[in-house]
Structure formats: structure tokens, C-alpha cells
A and B are shown apart, each in its own frame.
Chain A
Amino acid sequence: MAEVALRQVVKRFDDVEAVRSIDLDIPDNEFVVLVGPSGCGKSTTLRMIAGLEEVTSGDIWIGGEVVNDLPPKDRDIAMVFQNYALYPHMTAFENMSFGLKLRKFPKAEIKQRVEHAARILDITELLDRRPKALSGGQRQRVAMGRAIVRNPKVFLFDEPLSNLDAKLRVQMRTEIKRVHQKVKTTTVYVTHDQIEAMTLADRVVVMHHGRIEQIGTPQELYHHPKTRFVAGFIGSPAMNFIPCRLEHTGAGLSVRISDAIVLPVPPDHSARYQPVVGKEFILGLRPEHITEPRSNGRVSAGGEFSAMLDVVEPMGMETMVFFTINGTEICSRVEPSSAVAPGGKMVLHANMDHMHLIDSSTGVVI
């Protein structure tokens, strides 16, 4: 049990700056997910916390102690790898107990700890098997078991579900969450899958180009993204980004998307946007906020427009429809019963209560 802190941590590989001065505080027992596209520096950050990569500059604190110069074994951390990294010549039991044996724990305690972890992970039956005789999901459980038995200060997960098939991934995701609820330990989890990040995390850290774009709870990131990158990265299907112009209309403000489509800005947003009226922006709206008028709950006045559908994707409980406005493809989420065939016209309503106005040059959400 320990808090983890990163202070102006930089990692440079020759000329490439993989991590650019990041600051992060992770309180005791928190489950933090580092998420971002490939090459954003999330895995490097995790490996620096683990001690597998040296820090170029800055400090890493674990449990109130700077660990920059401590080898991995002295940091009291446990790590679960993407490809499990189980020792192929050892049984599940031996794999899980290896770290304890090296630390010269008494045999009885090793046995008790491994059996306890095996019970938590439901792998008691598999303890005598070698990794070769285990399925992907079972191997990942053993890898987690190897981390749990150590009872470390911090758990580190490096894309642990990427090698599993889609169904197993969902199952193991729940499993990891369940284990964290049982074994309360500070956890840093790296993934490129934003759904994994949203479902598992107490707080999500979105990284991009070696920097932290935003830190927040999944809900905060989803509803109040601070940048276009976060807005586009979190949520599936991704947020629509539509070029627009902010204008005065009568008493209030509105955004003009095309000559025909002018959407009213809700009065409670007006004060914020008042100073920037007349400029070009990007309107950010999630697919579920562009829908048929009756399912948008409280229908604000205006906000309706009609669109010619290009593609219709039935998903079962909902249907995605795609159409184009001024060359921008837009996705909207409608009820299966109200979707029309591709090529047909459909009246849609933009719920502007959830609008985001993004500065197109800086990418910052206003």
C-alpha cells in the first residue's frame, strides 16, 4: 500500500523524447489507467515506475521515497506483462512462488499465500500445470497471481488483456476489477483501449506525444474533455467534429454549420462563449447527442435538421447512422425503429446541452 508520485519525469531515447516532463499523483489504493495511442509514452512511464527503464530526469516516488536509483526488486512492485512472461519450465505454483522463494519466505507461508491468491483468482485446480497447458486467460490469471502473492506496494499492468480474444478480454476486465476490489492496492494500468480505461479506472490519465493531456474520472473525461484529442479519444464511436462558426442570433448565440443548419447555443453556455463570437470553431458532439428528436429527452428549441443517410449500421439495441455535412462525415446514434434506409432522409436533433466548442488551432475545448 503506497502512493505513487511522478515529478517532472522525462525519458529520452537518444534524440527521441518519449516522456516529456510529466507530473502525476496517485493516492494509496487508487486504480489509475494510463491510456493513449501507440507511442504516447504510457508504457515507458510504467516501465520507469517499475525500474525497467532509467529516468532521464525528474523523480519517481513510491511510498514517500524517491526510487529513481532503486533496482526493480527493491521497489516492492509487481508487474503483469502483455505476453504473461510466465516461466515456461515452472508450474503455475512455482511461477507464483518464485518471487517469494527468492526473498526467502518460509515454505509454509509461500504455500499459504499462493493458495490464497489461487482462491481469489479461481485457479486452485491449475496450480500443478505448466504454462503450456494453460489457456490465454488462465495464463493471465497465473500472471496476476504471481503479482498478488507478493503483496506489493504497487501493481503495474502493461496492456495485460491485449493478447486475449474479445470475449475473454471483457471477462478478464471484470476479473481485474473484482481482484482490485478484494486486494486493495495502488494500481497503475496501461492500455490503448479507452473502453478498458473507462471501465477499470478510478482515474484515467490520457497521454499523447509523451505528455499528459488530461487526468480525471472516466465521467469527467467523457463529459468534460479539455482538448480535442481527449474528446476524440474517449468514447466509442468517437465524438463528431464539425467545422462551424459562432454567431449572434437574436437574443442568444448559435453555431452555423452550413447555410441550412444553424444550431442554437443553450443560454447557460452563452456567457462562456460571448467573448469569442464571430470566430470559426470545431463543434464537438457525441453520436448519442445527435439523434431522432423524441429520444433526446428534453428537446431544446431548434437544433433540428434533416440529413440524407449514407450508411446505416444496425447494432441490435441501437443503430448508427452516418451522413455528411459540408464534407464532414457525422455519426449519430438512433433507435433501431426510427432509422431509415441508406439514401433516405431523416430528421435529427442535436442536443446542444452537450456541445463542446473547440479552438481549431490550439485544440483546446472552450
Chain B
Amino acid sequence: MSTATMTMPAPRAGRRASLRRDRRWALITSYVFLVVFAIFFLIPPYYMIVTSLKSDAEVAHMATNPWIIATGITFDQFKILFTQTDFLIYFKNTAIVTVCVVVITMVVSVLAAFSLGRMRFWGSSVLATGIFLTYLVPDTLLFIPLFQIVKAVGLLNSYWGMVLVYPTLTVPFCTWIMIGYFQSIPKELDEAALIDGAGHMQMLLRIFIPVALPGIIAATIFAFTVSWAAFVYPMAFLYSSDQQVLTVGTVTSLIRADVYKWGMLMAGALVAAAPPLVIYAFLMDYYIAGLTAGATKG
């Protein structure tokens, strides 16, 4: 043994140094790209904030630098937005629609995913793939047939119509996420629950939902984002101001022909972006854990 050790070549100092150099370069490259991407993605929000804090006069003044506030910060844009437009109605409508859509989506997709992912039955895997495929049909095509349906049920120009149609976007994907998550839970867990005396509903409520919480949160965030940011459906199905939602309402009420109320548009966009931002910030870890479930053995 000792002779073997003695005959082993000593690690070369050159190779060690080159390893360290490689690592340093990898780090530098990573940071450069991270900074570039961070700047790229932070420019729009920055522009929004800056513009929303300017007066109309400064926004309209072509000679000023659009990236900085030259004549002092003002909250007038927000004041006018909240008091003289229907923005708060849009906000309320969007909140109602989103909460309802998230609840409906989660109830439907958790139940669907549990039955498709855990209760093996004839055709379950084909059905699961089929559900995902429906997600691939773009809403820009779906709104035409959906228009007939929404009209038929008398929900045209009502935000309750959105509560009906948004789940066509959210349920397939959320079900897909949840199927993956439920399938990653070892089957002995439901067998243990069966032996312990749980029925399928108890198993779902007391074992699967708590264990799959990261997946459920990921799906919830997805449903929330889709519902909050949907544009095509409200554009097609809603036309009076009291029923409008944030995305379409802000744009239609603050852009009149070729007159753009930039300051208020930016203020409105900022306020509209705040709820998803807050939710993302708090639940980001769960979101990532949910999306990557099953990728590695947990």
C-alpha cells in the first residue's frame, strides 16, 4: 500500500490552478449574463414606475429625458386613476373573477388529477394526455365558439362569463401539473391510508392535498396569473365599463383614439401588476418545487 502511494504522481500544481481559473471564468460569465438579463427584464417596470410618477406635462414634453423624473415626483396619476376613472371597478371585477376562477380550477383539477393520477382505470392515461392537449388550443381560436356558448347561457357582457370561460385555460394545465405531482407520491402512502381506514375522499383531503401542497400552490399561482392577465376573452365578451376587467378596461378607458394617457396607463399597469408580484414573491419557492416535482427522486 505504502509503495503504491509513493509511486503515485503528485497532483500537478498547474492542473489545480487551471481548475480554479475555469471556475472563475464560469462564475464571471454567469454573472455577466445574469446582470444583462436582470437589466433587460427590469427596464419595463422601471419605465412604468418613472412615468407613473411624472406629471402629464412632463410626459408630454418631448425634450425631457424619459428615464428620469426631472420636475419632481407627483402622485397625481394615481389620484386621478382612482377617483376619476373606473379603474377601481375593473380591479374589483378582476379580483372577483380571479378568486372564483382559482377556486373552481383548483377544485376541478385536484379532483381530476387525483382520479387520473392515482385511481388507475381503463383509459386514464389517454384521458390525461387528452386534457393536456386541450391546453394547446390557443384562446385566440377558442373565443369564437366560446362566444356562442357564453351568449347562449346569457353571460355575454358579464364578468361571470369570464368565471365560466377562464377555467378552459386554467384547468387543463393545472390538472397536468397536479397529475405529475400526485404520481410522484409513493403508492404505499395510499395503501397505508387504505389500511388505516381512509376512504378515497379522506385520502385526498388528509393525505394527498397536504403532501402535494407545493404542487397545489404552483397550480394556484398559474391559475391566478392566467386569470388576472387574460386579455382576449374579456376583449371579446365584455363591452360595458361596469363589467370590464383590469387588462382590457385600463387599455380601453385610457387610450382614446390616438390619445394615450401615458402617466395613468403606467400607474394602472403598475397597480394591476402588484398582486401577482406579491403572490410570486411569497410563494416562489413552492412554485419552483411544484413545477420540478418528479424531475428527481424526492
Hey, which bits of chain A sit against chain B, CB under 8 A? Answer: 50-52, 71-73, 77-79, 81-83, 85-89, 98-99, 102-103, 146, 150
Contacts and interface: CB of A to CB of B under 8 A. Distances in A.
A70 to B, nearest CB: 12
25 contacts: A50-B195, A51-B195, A52-B194, A52-B195, A73-B194, A78-B195, A79-B192, A81-B191, A82-B188, A83-B186, A83-B188, A85-B191, A87-B189, A87-B192, A87-B193, A87-B211, A88-B211, A89-B210, A89-B213, A98-B193, A98-B196, A99-B196, A102-B196, A146-B192, A146-B196
A87 B193 CA distance: 9
Given A87-B211, A89-B210, A102-B202, A81 B192 contact: yes
Contacts of B197: 73, 99, 102-103
Contacts of B210: 87, 89
A79 B213 CA distance: 26
Interface in B151-198: 186, 188-189, 191-198
Interface residues on B, range: 10 to 19
B251 interface: no
B200 to A, nearest CB: 11
Contacts of B194: 51-52, 71-73
B interface secondary structure, majority: helix
A52 B202 contact: no
A261 B194 CA distance: 61
Interface in B122-170: none
Contacts of B191: 50, 52, 72, 79, 81, 85
A169 to B, nearest CB: 19
Contacts of A73: 194-198
Contacts of B283: none
B107 interface: no
Contacts of B196: 73, 98-99, 102, 146, 150
B207 interface: yes
Choose among B188, B198, B202 the residue with the greatest number of A CB atoms under 10 Å from its CB.
B188
Contacts of B206: 98
B110 to A, nearest CB: 16
A89 B189 CA distance: 12
A292 to B, nearest CB: 33
Contacts of A78: 195
Nearest to A86: B192
Given A77-B195, A87-B189, A87-B211, 18 more contacts: A50-B195, A52-B191, A52-B195, A72-B191, A72-B195, A73-B196, A73-B197, A79-B191, A81-B188, A83-B186, A83-B188, A89-B211, A98-B193, A98-B196, A102-B196, A102-B198, A102-B202, A103-B197
A52 B193 CA distance: 11
A60 B175 CA distance: 39
Contacts of A81: 188, 191-192
Contacts of A50: 191, 195
B121 to A, nearest CB: 14
A99 to B, nearest CB: 4
A13 to B, nearest CB: 13
Nearest to A78: B195
A85 B192 contact: yes
Nearest to B202: A102
Contacts of A83: 186, 188
A87 B195 contact: no
A14 B75 CA distance: 73
Contacts of A99: 195-197
Contacts of A88: 211
A321 B196 CA distance: 51
Most chain A CB inside 10 Å of its own CB: which residue of B189, B193, B197, B198: B197
Nearest to B207: A87
**A-B interface, 3 closest residue pairs, ranked by CB to CB distance from nearest:** A99-B196, A85-B188, A73-B197
A89 B193 CA distance: 13
A102 B198 CA distance: 7
Contacts of A72: 191, 194-195
Nearest to B188: A85
A85 B198 contact: no
A236 to B, nearest CB: 29
Contacts of B193: 87, 98
A354 to B, nearest CB: 42
Contacts of B207: 87
Contacts of A86: 192
Contacts of A79: 191-192, 195
Interface string B194-237: 11111000100011001101000000000000000000000000
Q: Chain A CB within 10 Å — which of B188, B195, B207, B211 has the most?
A: B195
B214 to A, nearest CB: 11
Nearest to A104: B197
A51 B188 CA distance: 13
Nearest to A71: B194
A50 B213 CA distance: 29
A85 B186 contact: yes
A85 B211 contact: no
Greatest chain A CB density within 10 A among B196, B211, B213 is at B196
